[in-house]
Structure 1
Amino acid sequence: MEKGKLDVEITHARNDEFGFLFQRFNGMMRNLNHLIDQVYKQQILAQQAELKQLQSQINPHFLYNTYFVLYNMAMTEDYDNVKLFTHQLGSYFKYITRNAAEDVPLHVEADHARTYCDIQSLRFYNRIVVEFGDLPSSCRDRLVPRLILQPIIENAFEHGLADKKSGGLLAVRFEEEIENGRFSISVEDNGPAVTDERVRELNGMLSIGSADAIEMTAIVNIHRRLRLKFGENSGLGFRHGSHGGVRVIINIQEREATSDETTHDRR
């Protein structure tokens, strides 16, 4: 039991005070197992519900705009780009609507986000440049919750860069701190500058765990899902961008073994 195996019972042959104590101890452990199972299932159900909510929040404007781009390509008989664009759209919708595992390798999540950026680059042609950094090879197979990156990029396009007539910039960067077991992804735009008060307000919404604005709902969901999987040191954070807009940072901190777990491993 000390090592975490909670499905065993202790026994005592005599019907005395120790026997009564052992019975009560076994009953306590059964109740503890039930509560652990209940809380775990509640977390999983909440996680799945939030993912379904993310999947249902496909921006209708994104649909209209992508089909308008496709229509223009067909009208100008740009068939090479029509084939490329429809393939990208197919990959995008397959990923966002499928009911597969909740966790995916990071390189799969990054590829989906890159596909989304490619689609938006055609929509915002000559208006926005996307700089998508390389994913460190050591992190490619790290399992992460699905749909943690693309909704943040979508938020940057729609609320930071949509009004840019030219010179728009979206930068996605991956950084790893091997010695600390820490990994981060930053999404930064050069949209309108935000005040210190607004940055505090955005981070406050994450801390509270709720958001009134529709565009923040998906962001808060991502923050909660990261903390459920990786612990309280993981999640999202808002900063001032170095290019004048907003920088959103996805922090992933691997859970550390407790001192008791470390002691058991040595045994």
Structure 2
Amino acid sequence: MPIWGRGPKSIFVKFSASFLLVGLIPLFALSFFSVQTFSGYVERYTTSNLQQMVLYMSYNLNSAFNQYNEVSKLMYTGRYEGFIESYSQNQTQNVNELEQINTIPIESFLKTVLFSDSYISSVQFIRQSDGKMYVQERSNRSLNMETVPNAEWLSAMADDPSKVAIFPTHQDSYFYGSDRQVFTIGRSLIDTSGRVTKEPKVVGTLFLDIDTSLFQQFFRELSLGEKDELYLLDGEGRTYFSNQPAGTAGVPTAAQSNDEMIVLSESIPFLNGQVIAKIHRGNLFEQLLSARATVYIAIGICAFVMIVMGAWFSRRLAAPIRELIRQMAVVESGKLDIQLSVNSNDEMGRLAHGFNRMVERLQVYIDEAYVAQIKQKQTELNALKSQIRPHYLYNTLEVIRMNAVDKEAGEVADMILALSNELKYVIDYGEDRVSIASELAHLQNYFYIISVRYENRFELHLDIAPDVNLDWPILKLSLQPMVENAVQHGLRLQGKGTVGITVERREQVVAITIYDDGVGMSRETLSRINKILEDPEAPSKNVGMKNVHERIRSSFGEAYGLSVNSREHVGTSITLTFPVITE
């Protein structure tokens, strides 16, 4: 069955999913964060640059309007061609009688103003007294007097003659054959000589037509696209310039940026208005959006590659394990003559090699267990036979003892009874642990035989602490070898002596000390014996002592065993420790 068909229960599905999640989530998160951060930075940087450009453009536009305002003031200052006139001239006489402005013929004055700036397309002066119009036009086109909106312009300036007037963009179609887009600046010439009157004495009005191509040099730096919009508005919302076709709907004065357009605005103090630039986001960030789309496509390709690689890696990793699972099922059925092919030296190869070794060892163990079972049956049969021999021995010893009693040989009878009890205790098949009372009783039988043999030259003293429970278990036949060593190696050499045994409790430890007042041993001999006891591999002539020590540690743990202390010509003590087992 394919791994992917097993669903979430398969470890390889979980592994592949984890691998993909661990790889894809950081990839997506980092890529998205990086793209968003970079895009945000580019947008902020670009928007800030555009805002600076609009601010710089508004400053230049305001300066241009101020420049043309200063040009219109030449009627008062007379500052032209290096000549400065007095402010106290009688302009009424100059204009009405002499047809002059500042001692300059009106036509010459208008021509001077016309050619003072390349964007001034025409200059008109209308005399107030009779409405006579003086005109200078850069292309020498004829003027259609009937279409000139003089009356409208003069009416707009009548409320405040001393203030400059600016008229929004319009066509100068009042010149034959002209379709230029211009805006007009108007200023009244007021006679300031003589007495000051309540109403200003207007002598005439000067009108300057300024070609709107003036604005192109400022707006060209913005590199506007087809969908971008630009408006130059005065304080009343009238459009002085726009890159939109005529008839386009008006622009709100409080335009706000949105998802489609970036709206930037700066004030024009001269007009009491503002310049508004509406930049289409799509065109502005077209390259950025293209780069972002490229990044997202790259992320998608990487994700697809990771998914394919994860599936391939999972299937490649799962194949040998699936084979191992199949062979394990064969082993479960009882067939052990199988081997996995080892194709690599990696973890999978070592796993296959370990499986082969396991099957081989399992076959060996089964064979050994079968042989051991046969041997166990043979041992049980031998045990049944051996039980007959001790029984016969006990009966024989009992007959001899009863015969000794009958012959009034009491000591011989007691020795035979002690020997019989010794044989029963030693030959008895049972557990390796016995109670303290049983071990001490066996020890007393043994010592009785020893004392009779050596003509009662040795004595045995027992000292049992009150808090010791004689039913606590200890190791069987652990005390007799120690007493035997005390007699053979300590007391027998000096001819007589005492063997003492103390039983005490030390918290959760039962300590049994066997001591004698024999010849003792040297420091070198004591050090050698202790070293042998601590080294399980060390050979020793002290078989009984080493055997008891290893049996105690094997039965009760490494924390227990025996320790030896001795002083030459003083005696030897051996302490055996067992755990307190109350159950």
Same fold (TM over 0.5): yes
Aligned residue runs from structure 1 range 103-118, under 5 A: 103-118=433-448
Q: How does 1:135-154 map to 2 (within 5 A)?
A: 136=466, 138-154=468-484
Counterpart check, 1:204 vs 2:531: yes
CA shift digits 1:19-76 (9 cap, x unpaired) = x9xx9xxxxxxx9xxxxxx9xxxxxxxxxxxxxxxxxxxxxxxxxxxxxxx9xxx7xx
Using the TM superposition, give the Cα deviation of residue 241 of structure 1 relative to its aligned residue in structure 2, in angstroms.
5.8
Which residue is 2:522 aligned to?
195
Higher-helix-fraction structure: 1
Q: In 2, are the aligned partners of 1:113 and 1:149 still within 8 Å (CA)?
A: yes
Aligned length: 191
Change (3 A) 1:242 1:176: farther
- Contact 1:211–1:220 at 8 Å: present in 2 too? no
Write the deviation string for residues 172-227 of structure 1: whole angstroms up to 9, x where unpaired: 1111123xx011111111221322222111111101123331xx112111111111
Is it true that 1:233 corresponds to 2:559 in the alignment?
A: yes
Which of residues 548, 568, 573 is equivalent to 1:247? 573
- 1:138 and 1:175 map into 2 onto residues whose CA distance is 6
Gap change, CA 1:192 and 1:151, over 3 Å in 2: same
Aligned CA RMSD, in angstroms, stands at 3.3
Greater C-alpha Rg: 2
- Say if 1:80 and 1:129 are closer, same or farther in 2 by CA, change over 3 A: same
Whether 2:499 is the aligned partner of 1:170: answer yes
TM (norm. structure 2) is 0.30
Check if 1:100 corresponds to 2:430: yes
Gaps (5+ residues) in structure 1? Answer: 1-12, 24-30, 32-37, 39-69, 256-267
Percent of aligned positions that are identical? 24
CA offset digits 1:113-161 (Å, max 9, x no partner): 1211122111122421221223656431222221111111111111112
Distance 1:188 1:243, change over 3 A: farther
Kindly indicate whether structure 1 or structure 2 has the higher relative contact order, using CA contacts under 8 Å at least 6 residues apart. 1
**Structure 1 residues 208, 225: closer, same or farther in 2, change over 3 A?**
same
Mapped to 1, the partners of 2:477 and 2:456 lie a distance apart of 27
Cα deviation, residue 93, structure 1 = 1.2
Give the 3 Å change call, closer, same or farther, for CA 211–190 of structure 1 in structure 2. farther
Please say if residues 465 and 505 of structure 2, whose CA atoms lie closer than 8 Å, have aligned partners that are also in contact.
no
Kept after mapping to 2: 8 A contact 1:136/1:174:
no
Distance 1:151 1:136 in 2: 26
- Paired residue type of 1:177: R
Paired amino acid for 2:505: E
List structure 1 runs of 4+ shifted beyond 4 angstroms. Answer: none
| CA apart distance, 1:162 | 1.8
Secondary structure in 2 matching 1:184: strand
Q: Distance in 2 between matches of 1:135 and 1:107?
A: 13
Quick check: 2:481–2:545 contact (8 Å CA) kept in 1?
yes
| TM norm structure 1 | 0.62
The answer to whether the 8 Å contact 1:223/1:236 transfers is: yes
**Secondary structure of the structure 1 residue equivalent to 2:543:** helix
Cα distance in 2, alignment partners of residues 133 and 81 from structure 1: 26
* C-alpha deviation, 1:163, in angstroms: 2.5
Q: Is the 8 A contact 1:128 1:164 kept in 2?
A: no
Unaligned stretches of 5+ residues in structure 2:
1-7, 15-320, 326-357, 359-364, 366-399
1:16 aligns with 2:346: no
